[in-house]
Amino acid sequence: MAARTATAPGAPTTKLGKAGYEIDDRLIVAGPVRRTLNKVFPDHWSFLLGEIALYCFIILLLSGTYLTFFFQASMTEIIYDGSYDPLRGQEMSIAYASTLDISFDVRGGLFMRQLHHWAALLFVASIVVHLLRIFFTGAFRRPRETNWIIGVVLLILALLEGATGYTLPDDLLSGTGLRIISAIILAIPVIGTWAHWAVFNGDFVGTEIIGRFYIVHVLLIPAILLALIAAHLLILVKQKHTQFPGPGRTEHNVVGNRLFPTFAGKATGLLFVVFGVCAALGGLVQINPVWLWGPYNPAMVSAASQPDWYVMFLDGSTRLFPAWDINLPGDYTIPALFWPTLVLPGILFTLLLLYPVIERKLTGDTVSHHLLQRPRDVPVRTSLGMMAIAFYLVLLISGGNDVVADKFDISLNAMTWAGRIGLVLLPPIAYVITYRICLGLQQHDREVLEHGIETGVIRRLPHGEFIEVHQPIGPVDEHGHGQLAYGGAPVPKKMNQVGAARRAIRGFFSPVEEPTAVEIDQRAEGRGLSAGESDRELTTSGRPSEGGRPSDGGRPQDPRD
Amino acid sequence: MSTTNPQSDAPLADAGTPVDRARARRRSKHRRRLANVAGLMASLVLTGSLYSVIAPAQAADEGTSESAAEAAGRELYERSCISCHGENLEGVPNRGPSLIGVGEASVYFQVHTGRMPLVRQEADAPDKPAVFSDEEIDQLMAYVQANGGGPTLPSGDLREGDLAEGGELFRLNCASCHNFVGQGGALSSGKAAPSLESSSDLEIYTAMLSGPENMPVFGDNQLTPEEKRSIILYVQTIDDMADPGGAGIGRMGPVAEGLVIWVVGISAMMFGIFWMGSKA
Amino acid sequence: MSTRETRPGSTGGEATPGPLHGGPDEDYTPEQLAAMRREELDLLGARYDGVEILHVDPGPEPGSATEKRAVRQVGWTFALAGVFAFLFLVVYVGSGWFLPEWSWAEEGTAWSALFTPLLGLFMGLSLALVGAGLVLYTKKLLPHETAVQDKHDGSHFDRVTTGATLVGGYHNSGLPRRKLITRSLGFMGVGVGVMLLAPLGGLIKNPNTGNPLGRTSWAEGVRLVRIDGSPVRPGDQEPGSLETVFPAVPGGNFESDAATMLIRLRPEQVLQDEPREGQADFSYGDYVAYSKICTHAGCPVSLYEQETSRLLCPCHQSQFDVTQGAKPIFGPATRSLPQLPITVDDEGFFVARSDYIEAVGPTYWNRERI
């Protein structure tokens, strides 16, 4: 066969080409590779949020592997004899001592530790932002419910991964956190003590827990995360991306850039930017300075002991929850701790997991959707989302309410009560306000479509009345009302957005072009107001470039009725 | 009450030396919580009026049975403290506690950190620039010590101790209110444990000895003078220590870190992807 | 169809060349493909993948000022990234060699505090610039094409045929008819599943043997000692003070439930003191001893406000009043801190009169029964 291809017309002549043929002879990958390279990705910034999370995960795997070379997950007590004077001679666990060694006795170890921790914080933060984008644009609707569920599970696993990692150094802060985890497990009704004995191999703190959390942190959860991320991406590729409505965009296509080379270039660039940001934070901003916290002792604690930000909302709910133990007959108790730490997140994450199903049931919308929605067009969902965010933010701030109280000189007890009241009052307020804003924005879109864009030009009519001239953005009927229907895409609201502005003069800090030359340029191109002064017809089209660049958004081509 | 006070291990002699030393160490930087404008105004007014009464007080005669310093201290006491602490240091109900048995240590701490004289009654007496000069504080201490007794100022090097042991004692006894490395923290109902960042050795020592306001007392039989010195050594060493890992962001732990990741990290990422999504 | 039925190798080793994949290979002969330009081939392949290139904004004209500027930008960005990578190496390798020692010392040489920040700065800048260079490259030098790819709904044909294959296989296995096998398969599935999970039973331990949750090392005559092991006398503490004490047993200062707060009340507090019912004699003079472990989530409750008699837990801000038997007065805690009965032994040191009379630490399901 090699002989055949070598003599066939169009056979490769370069070395690289021949090598490619050799590979394809063996693996037959040319077809799939071409299909992959030709895959079209929509070009919108919000589609890169999930990628940030993905790249954080890669950074976490790399830096985490490095840390395992030095970290020892043992709770055996030793006397510290490392470089850090203020702790030398102190009794501490090997886990803590090896963390100190990474920080002070491994060249570049502190940098890697901090890089790992910052990447972890960024990982969860970018997952949350990605989730919000998916939620508010309706990207979770059929057929993407599965990927939504996988995504939420990824978030939960990321939280568990973070919480176990937070515990590993066995310092005074993480030990306090572990103590609370222990109390939470104990608080489970009926099986609490049994569950605690299973997890800790006995009473708090025992000698096993760091080792167990370690293997969960470095093997179990990362493996599941990896598998689920793979599934998440495979489903994404199989289902293809969603896209925002715009010219030429339908439920049956994807408009954007092909993977190679444009999208690949940008995505790789983003990988390096994420890596760069994590590295810069890892070196320049100190995170979790465990040497200041000291070794764990169950009798010691510090003011303002908090978990990392992603678990802080649960600490907040625990602080706000009233002292309500439920005493059952037979001297059994359901501890107050059970509700805010297990029941509440259980409810929250169940609601989050099932949201696509809930919305489908409520709206009866079972059709497949590949075009996204603007948040304003779905006021109920948007308002529900803002309500959830308000609820979450109250919990999050309450998780650090002692720091807020201290820094802003507010009474701690007042902070607790503000949190309790805010938790009940703020979400409905957020709902109502968001709903109003959505309706207002919707109405304004319709208004602009009907009457045109405000030009800021005031004209006096013959009978003395002053009116503002509006620029219609589409064909008008005999009354001057626009005939375009709203199509789910952004409506231009400023003259600049319909090409009235001069092209920006290039140059970031100082102009690199002559302004006059640009103006002459534009007159030649027929762009900008100065060009329009002569004969430009602004009334027929949303954007001058329309059709050429659908990715700009703008007016839909087929008005709906 | 004075009978329950143990004898201080710190010798009385040469009490001036550590005071001077501490003053030399006292750093000019005073990190303040959000300044209460009203409080500041009030203290300015008070300072002004006090200055006008102190000037003649310094010219008072010095020929009585008490030492000159005590007499001057009495003058100061009667002008500034008597309304709350009573004619004979016995205190005034609902206004100020008795000063019998608090000793010069307490006077030093309260007056030197500017907590006393009080501007107004609130949850905490805030620290502020000291109203009295160092000499006047010495006089007040002499007066209260002579008439009420109590713990005296320590002498010698207040940082002569074991660093690691000081750290352990700090985490056991102090960190619960003052945070891991003395950043301070909130207490119930608007009270707060202050930051130790700008505190002098002697202020920390006298605070432990006297238990100002809501702070528990750490007598010399509970925390020996050596242990107190170890704690001071630890606090000041950590305070002076550079952060090996970059900006310390207040050494606050997760709250500050969470803020940084959202304000800096996520913002940087958003900036990056906006830029990537924008047209060339 | 005839050519496709001849599979290579099936004709007794005769080297008959087979077709490539069918489909496009039938439509386009190698000769036709050889005659096409590269751009045409690219578009042709894209069309086969359902992709149509609507519009191409060509990159900057070769040799134009715009191109030169963009090339300069990208080139400098990458070069700078390389420079910073090199600087990272200089700092990393050079510290302790031709640069000062990196390792941290208490007095902290300036370099040891700069080492990590410099590593982060250089690596961060280097990697971010690599990324920036790549993005600049794609934005400024590559042609911008707008492509449209079709999205296909599922194929009815595929569903029907796949379904037929699946159902056919199931039917041919005879499982629908052979009930015995179905049932035994189900039984086996459950059995094997449970068997494979069973070894996890090694994790399970009985929490109720020996009452570990309800008991601490405190017992009659056990001395109250400080963290360094020294015993405490009634004269040691001032009124308005708090000392954390541990049972005088080996390892007592690391026990998770034994830490106890020995508090000496001020005279005013003594007057206000209202101990819990039946625990009036648990105190000794003006001394009271309460468990340091919060009854809410187990954090050490140790923010003692001696003027307001409050104990505050720094984890969730539960507040307890020491003059009311450490009753919770604010926050999420529901139970008072357990009180340790104390007295003084022959040598004048504090000792416990017994263990705590209730379980210390956080509440759990059957706490009241222990």
Residue C192 has pLDDT above 50, yes or no: yes
Give per-residue pLDDT as tens, A3-39: 444 455 667 888 999 999 999 999 999 989 999 999 9
Percent of chain B with pLDDT over 70: 75
Query: Which chain C residues touch B275 with a CB distance below 8 Å?
Result: 135
The interface pTM score, or ipTM, of the predicted complex is 0.90
Block residue for tokens 């954390």 = C244
Q: What is the largest CA-CA distance in chain C?
A: 111
Nearest to A450, CA basis, from A473, A424, A419: A473
Q: Are A180 and C299 in contact (CB under 8 A)?
A: yes
What would the mean pLDDT of C158-169 be, rounded to a whole number?
Answer: 94
B254–C contact, CB cutoff 8 A:
no
Instruction: Give B-chain residues touching C135 at CB under 8 angstroms.
Output: 275-276
Question: What tens digit of pLDDT does each residue of B55-71 get?
Answer: 444 444 444 466 888 88
Any C CB within 8 A of A69 CB: no
The CA-CA-CA angle for residues B7, B8, B12, to 5°, reads 115
B234 touches chain C (CB under 8 A): no
Q: Is the pLDDT of residue C107 over 80?
A: no
Collect all residues of chain A within an 8 Å Cβ-Cβ radius of residue B168.
Answer: 90, 294
For C2-15, letters b (16+ CB in 10 Å) and e give: eeeeeeeeeeeeee
Contact C145, C55 (CB under 8 A): yes
Distance CA A74, CA A170 (A): 10
Min CA distance, A135 vs chain B (Å)? 18
C41 pLDDT above the threshold of 80: yes
* pLDDT tens digits, B222-244: 999 999 999 999 999 998 888 88
Q: Which amino acid, residue A250? A: T
- What is the overall mean pLDDT for chain C? 88
Whole-prediction pTM = 0.88
Which residues have C-beta within 8 Å of that of residue A175, sequence separation ≥ 6? Answer: A205, A296, A297, A298
Q: Is the pLDDT of residue A454 over 80?
A: yes
- pLDDT tier at A236 (50, 70, 90 boundaries)? very high
Mutate to test the interface with B, among C104, C127, C305, C320 (most CBs of B within 10 A): C305
Question: CA end-to-end span of chain C, whole Å?
Answer: 83
Q: Give pLDDT, residue B1.
A: 37
Q: Which of A262, A323, A413 sits opposite C334 (nearest CB)?
A: A323
CA distances from B150 to A414, B2, B112, B181 (A): 37, 7, 18, 30
The answer, for A201 touching chain B at a CB cutoff of 8 Å, is no
Which CA distances in Å does A183 have to A21, A179, A200, A350, C360?
Answer: 63, 6, 12, 23, 12
Mention every residue, 6+ apart, whose C-beta is less than 8 A from residue A213. Answer: A73, A164, A167, A168
A11 lies within 8 A of chain B by CB: no
Residues 68-127, chain B: which have Cβ within 8 Å of C?
Answer: none
Asked whether the predicted pLDDT for residue A551 surpasses 50, the reply is no
Residue B45 confidence (pLDDT): 52
Closest chain B residue by Cα to residue A109: B245
Please state, in angstroms and rounded to a whole number, the distance separating the CA atoms of residues B177 and A300: 11
In the chain, the amino acid numbered B170 is F
* pLDDT higher than threshold 60 for residue A94: yes
Chain A residues touching residue C87 (CB < 8 angstroms): none
Tell me how close the Cα of B89 comes to any Cα of chain A, in angstroms: 32
| pLDDT over 60 (residue A529) | no
- The helix/strand/coil state of B232 is helix
What residues of chain A, 273 to 292, have a C-beta less than 8 Å from chain B? 273-274, 277, 281, 283-289, 292
Candidates A526, A535, A538, A536; CA nearest to A476 is A538
Q: Considering only CA atoms, which of A257, A265, A160 is closest in space to residue A213?
A: A160
Q: Is the pLDDT of residue B153 over 90?
A: no
Which of the residues B37, B188, B215, B255 would you substitute to probe the A interface, choosing the one with the greatest number of A C-beta atoms within 10 Å?
A: B255
Highest mean pLDDT among A450-454, A489-493, B81-85, C162-166: C162-166
Residue A6: predicted pLDDT:
44
Higher confidence at residue A523 or residue A345?
A: A345
Confidence of residue A375 (pLDDT cuts 50, 70, 90): very high
Examine the pLDDT at C369 and tell me if it is beyond 60.
yes
Cα B15 to Cα A142, B21, B66, B86, B161: the distances in Å are 81, 11, 18, 27, 20
Nearest CA in chain A to B231: A86
CB environment A101-127: b (16+ within 10 A), e (fewer): bbbbbbebbbbbbbbbbbbbbbbbbbb
Asked if pLDDT for residue C11 goes beyond 80, the answer is no
- Choose the most confident range, by mean pLDDT, from A135-139, A500-504, B146-150, C27-31: A135-139
Q: Is A173 in contact with B179 (CB distance < 8 Å)?
A: no
CB C126 within 8 A of CB C88: yes
Structure tokens belonging to residue C33: 């493909």
Angle made by CA atoms C231, C235, C239, in degrees to the nearest 5: 115
Contacts of A283 in chain B (CB under 8 A): 245-246
- Cα A341 off chain centre by: 24
Read off the DSSP letter of residue A498.
G
Please give, rounded to a whole number of angstroms, the shortest distance from the CA of A560 to a CA of chain B: 29
pLDDT greater at residue A451 or residue C109: A451
CB pairs < 8 Å spanning A and B: 199
User: Of the ranges A399-403, B126-130, C187-191, which is most confident?
Assistant: C187-191
Q: How far apart are CA A73 and CA A75, in angstroms?
A: 7
pLDDT at residue A204 above 50? yes
Chain pair B-C, CB pairs under 8 angstroms = 102
pLDDT digits (tens, 9 = 90+) for C248-306: 999 888 888 999 999 999 988 999 889 998 888 899 989 999 999 999 999 999 889 98
Name every chain C residue with its beta carbon within 8 A of the beta carbon of B272: 131
pLDDT value of position A255: 92
